[in-house]
Structure 1
C-alpha cells in the first residue's frame, strides 16, 4: 500500500517521498508530546535463540518537537525502556516512510582516546599469536578499525544487520490511533529482554 506523500523537513519545506501503510493492528502508545511505534523482529527459520529484537520509532506530535524529544531521550535514564508499547491497537492512519541509512567511520582514534593504544603500534603490539610462527614476516599490529552500520525500512520490513521485522496481529481492543511519520523522528533497535540498544538514529529526510 505504498504511495507518495509529503514529508515535512526541519526547514519548514516539504518533499515527496514513498510512505508505506497497513490496515493491521500495530504496537503503538501515545505519551505527552510524542507517540511510539514498535515493530518486532521476526526470528529466522527455527531460531531457538531466547533473545528478541524490535525497532522503535519515536515520533514527536509536533513537527518542531524533534530536538526536544531527542534531549528527553538522551538525558532521561531508562527513557526508551519506559516507553515501549506492549499492546496492539487499531490504527486509523498509518504512514511510515521508506528510508535507508548507512554510516561508517574510522573508530581507531576513538578507541585510542579510550586507552586502547598498544595494538596500533608495530613496536607495542603483540599479535603474533594469531598466526603460525613460520608465517610471521614482520610484527603484526592493527592499522585501522572501521565501523559500519546500516538500517533499511521498506515494504519487506526493516533490516538492521541481518534480521527482518514483520507487522503483527493481535486481539486486544483499545481506541484506534494515528501514526503518521511525515516529519523527523527517532528510531531505536533494541534487544527486548535486556533493553540493550543496538542502533540509535534519526530520520530528518527519508529521500536522501
Structure 2
C-alpha cells in the first residue's frame, strides 16, 4: 500500500488568476443551485457549504475515468481538465488558508485509506500536491468503529468542534470501506459595522403566515447595498476586511419563500446581487443558529442530478484512484455525507462544514430621503459570499431562528 504523511498545509504557491477563480465560482455556484433544488423540500432550517461538497467531490473526480468522470464533470459543472480544476482549486484553498487575521477562513482535506488496500501513487501525489490532502492509513477491517470516531474527531478539530459526528454510526462497512475523502471548512468574521446588543429585543417572527414566535431581532440603521427585485428584498452586509459578505434574500410575501426556492438558479441570484445599490437601510434581522443534529446524505440527490455511475458498483470507474486486479475489489461511492453549521449574531458570523465521500469495494450612491426597510421577520435565504469572485461558501434557509 502507498501512504503519505504530512501536514494538511502545503508550501505557499501563486494564487489562481481572477479568471481561474471566476471559473471555479461559476462551477460551484451552478452546482449549488442544482443541489438546492434537490434538497430544498427538507423541513425547517437548512444550510450547506457548496464549496466543501465541491472540493470533496473534486478530489474524488481526480481518480475517476471514462463515463464516471464525464458524469461527475457535468454534475459539478467543471470547466477544464481534472488537472486544471484540481490545480486551480488547490491554489485557491491555499490562498484562503493564508487569509487575514480579521477573517478566519480555513480549509483542510484528508484521505483516510485502508491499510489493507493499495492506492495509485500518482493519484495520492496529485491530491497531496493540489489539495494538501495526505493519506492516513487506518483500519477499516477490524477497528472500523474506532476509525469512524477518529475521523469524526479530526473533522471536529478542523471546525473548532462545530461539526460533530459527521459520520453516523454504521456509515462505514467493516471490510468493505476502503477510503473516506474528507473536506472541512471553517469561517469566522466580524461585521464591518456590528449591531448594538442593546437594541436587540424579542419580537414576533412569522414561521408561517399564521404562526409566529418571539425571537431576538437585531436592528441597525446604516449604509448597505440593497435591492428590491423579483418580489424579494436583497441585503448585503460586509465583514470587516471587505473580502466576504453575507447576502440575505427576503420574500416580500410572508409565505413566499417556497416559491422563491422553487425557481432558484445561479443566474437568478447573480441578477439579485448585480441589482444591489448603495442605500440607507433600516435593518431588522434575527439572531440565528443552524446546527443540525443529523448529517445530510447526498447520494440520492447527486444521482438525480445525473451522477449515477459513481454509485453503481457494476459501472463505477475509479481506477485512477485504485486499480486492483480483481474487479470485485474496485471502488465505487457508497455515501456522500455533509453537515453545515452557521451562527449569526450582533458581532458577526461563524460557519463550518464538512463533507465525506465514502468509497467501498464492490462487495461491500445618491441617497434616498427615506431609508429603505429590510425587516426579516419571516423566512429568508442567506448566502455567505466571496466578493471578488461571487463564489458561495455557505448558503441556507432560516425558517425558524429560535429552533
What is the TM-score normalised by the length of structure 1?
A: 0.69
- The within-5 A match list for 1:20-39 is 20-39=218-237
The reply on whether 1:78 has 2:78 as its aligned counterpart is no
* Structure with higher helix content: 2
Question: How far apart in 1 are the matches of 2:278 and 2:334?
Answer: 49
> Secondary structure of 1:21's match?
strand
The reply on whether 1:53 has 2:244 as its aligned counterpart is yes
The reply on whether 1:182 has 2:377 as its aligned counterpart is yes
Question: How far apart in 2 are the matches of 1:87 and 1:111?
Answer: 36
The reply on whether 1:94 has 2:248 as its aligned counterpart is no
Matched with 1:131 is none
- What is the alpha-carbon root mean square deviation over aligned residues? 3.2
Question: How far apart in 2 are the matches of 1:156 and 1:79?
Answer: 30
Question: How far apart in 1 are the matches of 2:298 and 2:230?
Answer: 37
- The within-5 A match list for 1:117-136 is 117=311
Shift of 1:94: 2.0
Deviates more, 1:16-25 or 1:79-88: 79-88
Matched with 1:155 is 346
When residues 146 and 194 of structure 1 are mapped into structure 2, their CA distance, relative to the original with a 3 A threshold, is: same
Give yes or no for contact 2:234–2:276 (8 Å, CA) kept in 1.
no
Gaps of 5+ in 1: 45-51, 129-138, 163-170
Matched with 2:402 is 207
> Secondary structure of 2:310's match?
coil
Matched with 1:4 is 202
Question: How far apart in 2 are the matches of 1:66 and 1:43?
Answer: 31
Give yes or no for contact 2:209–2:254 (8 Å, CA) kept in 1.
no
Equivalent of residue 19 in structure 1, options 198, 206, 217:
217
Question: How far apart in 2 are the matches of 1:27 and 1:160?
Answer: 22
Query: Number of paired residues?
Result: 178
> Secondary structure of 2:271's match?
helix
- The within-5 A match list for 1:136-147 is 145-147=336-338
Q: Which whole-Å deviations, capped at 9, do the CAs of 1:162-198 have from their partners, x for residues lacking one?
A: 9xxxxxxxx7523411110001111122222332323
Give yes or no for contact 1:39–1:54 (8 Å, CA) kept in 2.
yes
Greater relative contact order (CA < 8 Å, ≥ 6 in sequence)? 1
Equivalent of residue 66 in structure 1, options 241, 244, 257:
257
Question: How far apart in 2 are the matches of 1:32 and 1:106?
Answer: 32
Q: Which whole-Å deviations, capped at 9, do the CAs of 1:19-73 have from their partners, x for residues lacking one?
A: 01113222211124211011223349xxxxxxx332111111121222222233x
What is the TM-score normalised by the length of structure 2?
A: 0.38
Shift of 1:82: 1.2
> Secondary structure of 1:199's match?
strand
Question: How far apart in 2 are the matches of 1:30 and 1:109?
Answer: 35
When residues 81 and 108 of structure 1 are mapped into structure 2, their CA distance, relative to the original with a 3 A threshold, is: closer
Give yes or no for contact 1:111–1:117 (8 Å, CA) kept in 2.
no
